[in-house]
Structure 1
Amino acid sequence: MTDDESGVHDASARVVDPDVDLRDPAQRGELAATHGAVVVAVSVGGGVGALARYGIALLLPTRSGGFPWATFITNLTGCFLIGVLMVVITEIVTPHPLLRPLLGVGVLGGFTTFSTYAVESRDLLRPGTIGVGFGYLAATLVCCLVAVTAAAAWTRALAGRARRRTGAAA
């Protein structure tokens, strides 16, 4: 978050979007031309992600009052993959304009489920399961933040190693 020379806070500085600079009118217009394709990419990706999440839920059913492993593993995996994806598409490659909407918003947005996390947490924060509820709340928050951070660092390290190896061979 930065202030410009006039001291006015620039809210757009909080948003990092490599695809479009909303301060540039020419790029804002670009969004209108691709709106339909973006909607299709997000929709298809969201369906794929939701089906994958459903599959995990079938493989790991949660008993009443038990730790919701399916949602925990889904969100942990999704956060890790978001960390990898965001580094790859913002620092390593120049992606197709629909890659981020398809994979980031669509597949990984449909795959992760923090709304289910909220509902399951609420249901567990009751007498008899309150310990599981607080454990789930804390474990999900901490582990998902660690996963996205570690994935981003790991991806940067692998990319740096690959660049050094390629540079050394040339």
Structure 2
Amino acid sequence: MPTQEQNEANPGFLAEQEQAYQAYALALRKDCQPDSAIEEEAFERYAWASFQAKRARKLELLAESRSCSNPGDASLFSHWERTLKIANLQERRAGRAFKELRQLQKDRFAAYEVYAELCAMGREVEIPKSLPITELRKSNLQRTNPNYLAQFLLYQTEEVQEAAEQMRKDSEAASKPF
């Protein structure tokens, strides 16, 4: 990794790195296809951390070769250890961001199924992007189909709650003796 003085002496280095990152992020974007702002945020964290992990692995190889070529130099070995830790940190960051992105995408596709059920019922209810639909579907195995979740979301609307309350009152009034 170049120092500040090296960056000032070679101003094109940062531009090269920015271009390399943009090309890398574009290739990842084609594969990941983030769809919402929240997915975009997770994607950006993933792209940046994985790009940094690639760079750190290159530095790790360089530090390893320098340390192995001069085994008596403790500072080179220490430098190698630090770059190894940085590479591992970036890989963990990339892994966590990728896991989060995949979970958001699973939720998006599960939400499509629930939304389709809502549309089949003749209702359009906006499903929040942050709602963990996949987890809701896994939480109770007897109520995991999209139709159940669609009904659940539909019952959360104010109009349906008012209608249910009116039906309850009508039922109570009808069951009272005269």
Verify same fold: TM over 0.5: no
* Alignment TM-score, normalising by the size of structure 1: 0.31
Greater RCO, CA 8 A, separation 6+: 1
* Alignment TM-score, normalising by the size of structure 2: 0.30
Query: Per residue, is there more helix in 1 or in 2?
Result: 2
